[in-house]
Chains A and B, each alone.
Chain A
Amino acid sequence: GNSVTQMEGPVTLSEEAFLTINCTYTATGYPSLFWYVQYPGEGLQLLLKATKADDKGSNKGFEATYRKETTSFHLEKGSVQVSDSAVYFCALSTGNQFYFGTGTSLTVIP
């Protein structure tokens, strides 16, 4: 079946550190892949997405590349800020079904 596995947290980084949150997936066919973010006290919102192999999604300094050969969609940012503190969810869509990972909590300290 389809599923998403993402790195467990919580993750604590100092400001300007490099961030990687791992995400791997299992899917039949060719799903679309997403990263959603939930800031404290707010609802889930799309951070970035990729719809086919080798696509790179990017937004707000975050990037993720759809790697079909490794079934991965790791989230990266070169220099995190305190304002990036949030919970990050990896997700996949097959059109009829949508699967989320368990979320990774990130705290960035000054």
Chain B
Amino acid sequence: EAGVAQSPRYKIIEKRQSVAFWCNPISGHATLYWYQQILGQGPKLLIQFQNNGVVDDSQLPKDRFSAERLKGVDSTLKIQPAKLEDSAVYLCASSFQRGQADTQYFGPGTRLTVL
């Protein structure tokens, strides 16, 4: 079974530029998550999708971050414009259902450096 795919793996941009990350979840997984992991901290949930609908985006800085999952499969997370404090690893995860006990499967992450 193929795992969660993410691209690119690394990205370096200057502040005020835009960047987009792509995620393809495990086939058949209805729920998709985006996390931000700043160095030395645990992952922080930004947004959760169930199929192509948003379940929770309360931690997403909506003035600069956006995410979509148009066909209920792959997803894109965008930052526009980027700030220095956005430097982090962006993790995508998926789970079969949206249950409290469901296991999340994580991709390798995209490491973003904002200069």
List residues of A whose CB falls within 8 A of some B CB.
4, 31-32, 36, 42-46, 49, 51, 89, 91, 93-103
Select from chain B the residue with minimum beta-carbon distance to A42: B108
Q: How far is the CA of A96 from the CA of B33 in the complex (A)?
A: 11
Query: Does B19 touch A at the CB level, under 8 Å?
Result: no
Q: Is B25 an interface residue (CB 8 A)?
A: no
Main secondary structure of the interface of B (DSSP, over half): loop
28 pairs, CB–CB < 8 Å, chain A vs chain B: A4-B42, A31-B100, A32-B101, A42-B108, A43-B107, A43-B108, A44-B43, A44-B91, A45-B106, A46-B103, A46-B105, A51-B101, A89-B42, A89-B43, A93-B101, A94-B100, A95-B98, A95-B100, A96-B55, A96-B56, A97-B56, A98-B48, A98-B104, A100-B42, A100-B43, A100-B44, A102-B41, A103-B42
Interface size bucket, B side? 20 to 34
**Complex: how many Å from CA A47 to CA B59?**
26
Question: Closest residue to B3 on the A side, CB-wise?
Answer: A43
Contact residues in A for B103 (Cβ distance below 8 Å): 46, 49
B30 is an interface residue with CB less than 8 A from chain A: no
Contact B99 A98 (CB under 8 A): no
Interface-centre pick from A4, A94, A99 (highest chain B CB count, 10 A): A99
Complex interface: chain A residues within 8 A of B41 (CB): 102-103
Known: A98-B33, A101-B42, A102-B42. Is A93-B100 also a contact (CB below 8 A)?
Answer: yes
- How far in angstroms is the closest Cβ of chain A from B99? 7
